[in-house]
């Protein structure tokens, strides 16, 4: 099978979640024996369709523009058995670059009118490849893709072989050891294999690919703190992710949310621990964590008999959490106190992080 994969993301490398998902799909397709070419549309010159209809009249099937679309991408598109369209979700639909590509496939149609399924259409000039659509979105709900889904289903009809939609995509990391993330990426590789072998992706595999990572209640406090941290530190979200920065909590609720999100059950294994935090200063109050059987339970308030108790000004702890202050130094300077199994503090990375 000859596959052309077109990536319209504005970002490249690991910060691009479109690229992360497409890389997995392509890996699976190659493992199943397909010949796959990936083209990053950002790196090609593709002019807008100017609506002259020259491709329908004076030069049937040939666009007036002499750019990379006419010279390279369109011929490769027609020559492929399957074309993967990989696009980020922008304003609830495909992004402008993918739309530009789609508009420039006009030469594949003829000008005449015909009615199919009660709708006026143009007949195809060429046999077009099967299409697989893959899209990623920042929001957590799957229905964020409803407009995109409706559009691609209407447009590609019987040629649409597969649709992959990944919400909460900003949480994807190639090297992640979080079981949920690993399984999504592995399932996407599997999806690529199935696409080549069966020209479709099974409902079981799709279910794994789109499995919820988080929900609004968990994601919003985390996301809001991450954006506020970017604003305060004057970094872009891409820089924030590359530097593996930690969102700075501004309340006990957001502290709990961030700790829960950062908990890694694979690292924790069957280790047990319980911690009590008593905050003073900017934010006053208490909260606690218990880790047991690979699960973290977080709660506001006091717990009975914790392994470790930290008494600290909220802002001091948040400086330590976000790497602005050194925990050992702050302890020596008496900025906070600990009682109980103090060595636990030195080994927090056995419970948290990728």
The yes or no reply on residue 6 touching ligand FMN (CB under 6 A) is: no
Residue 123, helix vs strand vs coil: coil
Closest contact distance (angstroms) between CB of 21 and ligand FMN is 8
Nearer to ligand FMN, 14 or 233 (CB): 14
The yes or no reply on residue 89 touching ligand FMN (CB under 6 A) is: yes
Contact between residue 28 and residue 191 where contact means Cβ atoms under 8 Å apart: yes
Q: Whose CB is nearest to ligand FMN?
A: 88
The yes or no reply on residue 40 touching ligand FMN (CB under 6 A) is: no
The yes or no reply on residue 16 touching ligand FMN (CB under 6 A) is: yes
The yes or no reply on residue 23 touching ligand FMN (CB under 6 A) is: no
CA 9-15-20 angle, to 5 degrees, is 70
String marking each residue 141-160 x if it binds ligand FMN according to CB under 6 A = ---x----------------
Q: Retrieve residue 165's tokens.
A: 């939609």
The yes or no reply on residue 91 touching ligand FMN (CB under 6 A) is: yes
* Strand-strand pairing, 308-313 and 273-280: parallel
> Angle 216-233/252-262 helices, nearest 10 degrees?
100
| Helix residue spans in the chain (DSSP H) | 17-31, 68, 74-79, 96-103, 146-156, 179-198, 203-209, 216-233, 237-242, 252-262, 265-268, 314-321, 327-332, 343-346
* Strand-strand pairing, 160-166 and 130-136: parallel
Closest contact distance (angstroms) between CB of 139 and ligand FMN is 3
Sole window of 11-19, 30-38, 58-66, 321-329 interacting with ligand FMN (rule: CB under 6 A): 11-19
String marking each residue 160-179 x if it binds ligand FMN according to CB under 6 A = ---------xx---------
Closest contact distance (angstroms) between CB of 37 and ligand FMN is 19
Q: How many residues bind ligand FMN (CB under 6 A)?
A: 18
Closest contact distance (angstroms) between CB of 34 and ligand FMN is 23
User: Could you give the CA distance from residue 3 to residue 131 in angstroms, rounded to a whole number?
Assistant: 10
Nearer to ligand FMN, 41 or 130 (CB): 41
The yes or no reply on residue 139 touching ligand FMN (CB under 6 A) is: yes
Nearer to ligand FMN, 61 or 238 (CB): 238
Closest CA to 257 of 227, 292, 287, 279: 287
The yes or no reply on residue 38 touching ligand FMN (CB under 6 A) is: no
Which CA distances in Å does 4 have to 32, 97, 196, 277, 340?
15, 16, 12, 54, 59
Q: Residue numbers of the site for ligand FMN (CB under 6 A)?
A: 9-11, 16-18, 88-92, 136-139, 144, 169-170
């Amino acid at each position: 099978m000859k596959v052309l994969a077109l990536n319209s993301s504005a970002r490249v490398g690991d910060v691009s979640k479109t690229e992360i998902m497409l890389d997995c799909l392509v890996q699976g397709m190659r493992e199943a024996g397909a010949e796959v070419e990936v083209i990053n549309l950002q790196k090609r010159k593709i002019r807008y369709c100017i609506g002259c209809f020259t491709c329908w009249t004076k030069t049937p099937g040939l666009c007036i523009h002499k750019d990379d679309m006419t010279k390279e991408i369109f011929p490769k598109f027609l020559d492929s058995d399957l074309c993967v369209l990989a696009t980020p979700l922008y304003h609830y639909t495909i992004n402008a670059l993918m739309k530009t590509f789609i508009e420039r496939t006009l030469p594949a149609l003829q000008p005449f009118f015909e009615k199919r399924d009660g709708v006026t259409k143009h007949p195809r000039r060429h046999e077009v490849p099967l299409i697989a659509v893959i899209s990623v979105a920042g929001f957590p709900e799957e229905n964020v893709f409803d407009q995109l889904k409706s559009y691609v289903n209407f447009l590609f009809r019987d040629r649409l072989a597969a649709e992959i939609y990944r919400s909460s995509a900003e949480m994807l990391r190639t090297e992640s050891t979080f079981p949920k993330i690993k399984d999504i990426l592995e399932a996407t590789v599997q999806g690529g294999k199935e696409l080549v072998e069966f020209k479709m992706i099974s409902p079981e595999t799709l279910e794994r690919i789109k499995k919820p990572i988080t929900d609004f209640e968990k994601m919003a406090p985390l996301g809001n703190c991450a954006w506020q941290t970017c604003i305060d530190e004057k970094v872009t979200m891409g820089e924030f992710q590359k530097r593996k920065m930690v969102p700075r909590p501004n309340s006990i609720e957001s502290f709990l949310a961030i700790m829960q999100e950062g908990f890694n059950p694979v690292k924790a294994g069957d280790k047990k621990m319980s911690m009590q935090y008593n905050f003073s200063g900017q934010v006053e109050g208490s909260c606690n964590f218990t880790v047991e059987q690979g699960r973290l339970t977080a709660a506001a308030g006091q717990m009975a008999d914790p392994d470790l108790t930290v008494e600290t000004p909220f802002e001091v702890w948040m400086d330590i959490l976000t790497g602005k202050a050194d925990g050992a130094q702050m302890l020596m300077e008496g900025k906070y106190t600990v009682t109980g199994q103090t060595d636990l503090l030195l080994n927090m990375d056995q419970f948290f992080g990728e």
